[in-house]
């Protein structure tokens, strides 16, 4: 955690550089899709944002389990920081996907299994953040949100497999982990660079968010000590 907090400057610069390269590859270098045309380029922001949202909620699970086990508030801060970023990246993935859907499906939104389960994922973790905002006792907040953080992650495999389990408008994965990608080599390179750019940006934002959470916890402790002195 300290590593990310103290590497803000290099991570910020690296993410800006990678985003510039990624924009060039995504918008100019990679070819348009034979069926979808240029609209397919939205994939270069949609796929990395949803993959990072999955990763963020996985890290919420890690932080939540470690908090429940060790009762160390550092893990609660780690889960909270990833929860906030996960909600942000889920919202961005939904927004980019909706913009892609309009010219492709004719509507911005439809109650397709993939879209519906992703919307549920967003609501679960928005609820996680609301619970954290409403609970004023830090220990109760950490315990209760850790339970939500463990349960909420169960929706991720449902979201991911929804296109295989149910009849869905949403295409299946174009970038399966265990097989060769189903896309052109240049599209694959552009997508990988875009994923790298978003990942470095995520690490930069996570470091800053962790720093903020530590400062807020220090403030609460100082105010608590002050209140006890009075």
CA dist 2 and 41 (Å) reads 36
Torsion sign (Cα): 52, 124, 208, 61:
negative
Q: Are 5 and 180 in contact (CB under 8 A)?
A: no
* Identity of the residue, 42 or 148, whose beta carbon is nearer to other proteins in the bound complex: 42
Contacts of 51 (CB under 8 A, 6+ apart): 195
Q: Which of 4, 25, 96, 115 binds other proteins (CB under 8 A)?
A: 96
Instruction: Select 74 or 158, whichever has its Cβ closest to other proteins.
Output: 74
| Closest distance of CB 92 from other proteins, Å | 5
User: What are the phi and psi torsion angles at 37 (to 5°)?
Assistant: 70, -145
Cα 208 to Cα 186: distance, rounded to the nearest angstrom:
33
Measured over the CA atoms of residue 63, residue 66, residue 67 and residue 73, the dihedral's sign is negative
Give the number of other Cβ atoms within 10 Å of residue 116's Cβ: 16
Q: Residue 180 or 226: which CB sits closer to other proteins? A: 226
Q: Which is nearer to other proteins, 79 or 93 (CB)?
A: 93
Please identify which residue in 10, 17, 37, 157 interacts with other proteins, judged by CB under 8 A.
37
97-126 positions binding other proteins, by CB under 8 A? 99-100, 102-103
205 touching other proteins, by CB under 8 A: yes
Q: Which of 107, 147, 189, 215 binds other proteins (CB under 8 A)?
A: 215
Which residue's CB is nearer to other proteins, number 111 or number 228?
Answer: 228
Distance from the Cα of residue 144 to its chain's centroid = 21
Q: How far apart are CA 105 and CA 203, in angstroms?
A: 34
> Which region, judged by CB under 8 A, interacts with other proteins, from 42-50, 63-71, 121-129, 142-150?
42-50
Axis-axis angle for helices 43-70, 155-165 (nearest 10): 140
Query: Exactly one of 4, 45, 187, 193 binds other proteins (CB under 8 A); which one?
Result: 45
Binding site for other proteins (CB under 8 A): 19, 23, 27, 37-39, 41-42, 45-46, 49, 88, 91-92, 95-96, 99-100, 102-103, 136-138, 201, 205, 208-209, 211-212, 215-216, 218-220, 222-224, 226-227
């Amino acid at each position: 955690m300290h590593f990310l907090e103290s590497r803000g400057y290099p991570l910020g610069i690296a993410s800006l550089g990678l985003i510039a390269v990624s924009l060039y590859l995504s918008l100019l270098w990679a070819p348009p899709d034979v069926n979808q045309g240029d609209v397919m380029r939205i994939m270069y922001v949609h796929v990395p944002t949803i993959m990072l949202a999955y990763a963020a909620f996985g890290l919420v699970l890690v932080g939540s389990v470690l908090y429940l086990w060790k009762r160390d508030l550092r893990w609660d801060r780690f889960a909270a920081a990833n929860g906030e970023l996960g909600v942000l990246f889920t919202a961005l993935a939904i927004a980019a996907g909706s913009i892609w859907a309009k010219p492709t499906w004719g509507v911005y939104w439809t109650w397709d299994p993939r879209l519906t389960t992703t919307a549920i994922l967003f609501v679960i973790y928005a609820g996680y953040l609301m619970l954290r905002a409403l609970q004023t006792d830090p220990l109760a907040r950490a315990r209760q949100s850790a339970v939500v953080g463990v349960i909420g992650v169960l929706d991720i495999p449902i979201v991911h497999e929804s296109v295989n389990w149910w009849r869905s408008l949403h295409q299946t994965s174009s970038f399966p982990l265990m097989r060769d990608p189903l896309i052109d080599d240049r599209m694959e390179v552009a997508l990988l660079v875009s994923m790298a750019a978003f990942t470095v940006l995520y690490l930069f934002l996570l470091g800053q968010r962790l720093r903020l959470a530590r400062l807020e916890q220090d403030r609460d402790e100082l105010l608590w000590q002050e209140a006890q002195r009075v």
